[in-house]
Amino acid sequence: MFNVAKAVYNSLYSAKIKRGIRIIMMIIDLDSIRRIGQIDPEYEIKYLDFADIVISQNAEMSKWLISNRINPAKVVNLDLFDFRLDTNYQVITASNEVFEKNIIFEGNLTPEKAEFLYKWKPNFKAKLYGINLKQNAITRKYGIFGLFQSKQSCHGRQWFFVWFGLVWEGSSIETCTGLAEQYLKFSTPHKLSMYLSQGLPVIVWKESAMANFVEENNIGFTIQSLSEIDEIFEKITAQVYADIKSNVQIIKKKVVHGEFLKTALSKCFSKLNIPELREAIK
C-alpha cells in the first residue's frame, strides 16, 4: 500500500513544482506508528513534509509530527472524523423507562485484531457489530448483530438498549497492548465517530489520544482496564447519564454534518490566505 501512496505523493510533488499548486494532506493512517519496524518514520515524514498543510487526526498525533520535524505552522488538528449518515437513516432511541446497562463494540472482530473479546467475560450485556468473528470461540455473554450499515435504517436492531460504545484494542482486558496500544496513543479510530453518530456515549482507554477529548466534552468515560466498567455501571445514575447524553448530542450534530472537517479546512484556508475558500465552506 505504501508503494501506491508513494506514487501518489510523487505525482503531487511534480504538480506542485511544475504548476505551483498548494497541497493539503489529511492523515488517515500513519503506518510508521501503526506498523512499527516496517516503515521508517523519517521516510513517511519526508512525503508528508512537502504538503503546505497537514491535517492531523488529533493533538497527540500533531505532537508526534512536530517532534519528527514537521513545521508546526503547517499542522492543523481534525480532532474527530465526521461520519455521514444516509438521509433516510433513523436512530431509534429508548423511552425514559429504559435504563438497561450495555456495551457495544464495533469493528474487525477477528482474534488477531480484537483478541481481548475472546478473553473478556463481562458482567453485563455486550453487543458486537462487525466482521470476521470466530463464533465458536466467543463467550455467550455477547449479542452478535453483523455488519453495521450506515445507509440502512436502524429499525428493529438493538441500538436503543445500548449504553456505551467501547473503543479498545489488543489482546488484554487489563490494558490496551501491542502495536494497537501504541497506535491508540496517536490515532482517532473511526468507530468513535460511528458511536457518536448514533448518539452513544463512549468508553475509551485512558492512555489513548481520544481520552482528553472524551473528558473535556464529558461524552463518556476513560478507563485503564475493562474491569472498571463494572464500577461505572454500579455508580452511574440516570441524571449523570442524561447529562452525558446531552453532551453527546452536541458532538453528534457536528459529526453527522461534517463540521469537524469544515472547521479544519477553514483553518487550512486561513493559513494559506485563501479567504474565498474559507467563506465557501461555511
**What is the SS3 assignment for 33-85?**
HHCCCCCCHHHHHHHHHCCCEEEECCHHHHHHHHHCCCCHHHEEECCCCCCCC
φ, ψ for residue 156 (rounded to 5)? Answer: 85, -5
CB burial string 224-253: b at 16+ within 10 A, e below: eebeebeebbeebeeeeeeebbeebeebbe
Cα–Cα dist 266/272, whole Å: 10
**How far is 257 from 270, CA to CA, in rounded Å?**
21
pLDDT at 159: 42
Q: What is residue 47's predicted lDDT score, i.e. its pLDDT?
A: 87
In the structure grid, which three cell numbers stand for residue 58, read together? 488529533
Burial class for 280, CB neighbours closer than 10 Å (0-12, 13-18, 19+): exposed
- What pLDDT does residue 86 have? 75
Q: What's the pLDDT at 96?
A: 47
Matching residue, cell 498543510: 53
Q: How confident is residue 155, by pLDDT bands cut at 50, 70 and 90?
A: very low
| Whether residue 279 has pLDDT greater than 60 | yes
- The pLDDT mean for the chain works out to 87
- The C-alpha cell at 73 is 505552522
Q: What is the pLDDT of residue 197?
A: 93
Residues in CB range of 273: below 8 A, 6 or more apart? none
Residue 44: CB atoms within 10 Å? 20
Segment of 49-63, 96-110, 154-168, 173-187 carrying the highest mean pLDDT? 49-63
Asked if 134 contacts 68 with a C-beta cutoff of 8 angstroms, the reply is no
Dump pLDDT digits (tens) for 73-111.
999 999 999 998 876 666 555 444 456 788 999 999 988
Mean pLDDT (whole number) for 215-222: 98
Higher pLDDT, 121 or 161: 121
Amino acid letter for position 229 = I
Distance CA 103, CA 163 (A): 6
